Amino acid sequence: VASFFFIGLMSMMIPLCHVFGALVAVCLFMGLFDGCFICIMAPIAFELVGAQDVSQAIGFLLGLMSVPMTVGPPIAGLLRDKLGTYDVAFYLAGVPPLIGGAILCFIPWVHERQKSKER
């Protein structure tokens, strides 16, 4: 959850970097958190679907992740053409991971609530 949240935060910080060193630092942190997110995807998929279907689940996750990565750059280009800057595109790119991270924070609460109902 923290990795997902920080990916969104780092995306939103890119337009705020006016010095090359700051951009390098933001990109390093973004790469670190993205690597953590990708590494934890397989164990989560294994826990959710079991050993039999884990390869299909990972393929499905990567397929879903490819949609925004394919559609995002043309949308960013359209925003650049309309607004004259890429800043809004970076801010908008950071919103879904922030929302997703916030929603994922509620999973332990929901899980505990389901356990208490079963008891």
Q: Around Cβ 114, how many Cβ atoms within 10 Å?
A: 9
CB 30 within 8 A of CB 7: yes
Q: What is the pTM of this model?
A: 0.78
Residue 5: which residues within 8 A CB-CB, separation 6 or more? 97, 98, 101, 102
> DSSP assignment, residue 119?
-
Split at pLDDT 50, 70, 90, the class of 61 is confident
Is the per-residue pLDDT at 74 higher than 90?
yes
Range of the domain at 104: 1-116
Can you read off the two tokens belonging to residue 54?
A: 């884990």
Give the mean model confidence (pLDDT) for residues 41-65.
87
- Domains of the chain: total: 1
pLDDT at 113: 86
| Distance, C-alpha 79 to centroid of its chain | 21
* Interval 19-45: pLDDT, tens: 999 999 999 999 999 999 888 888 888
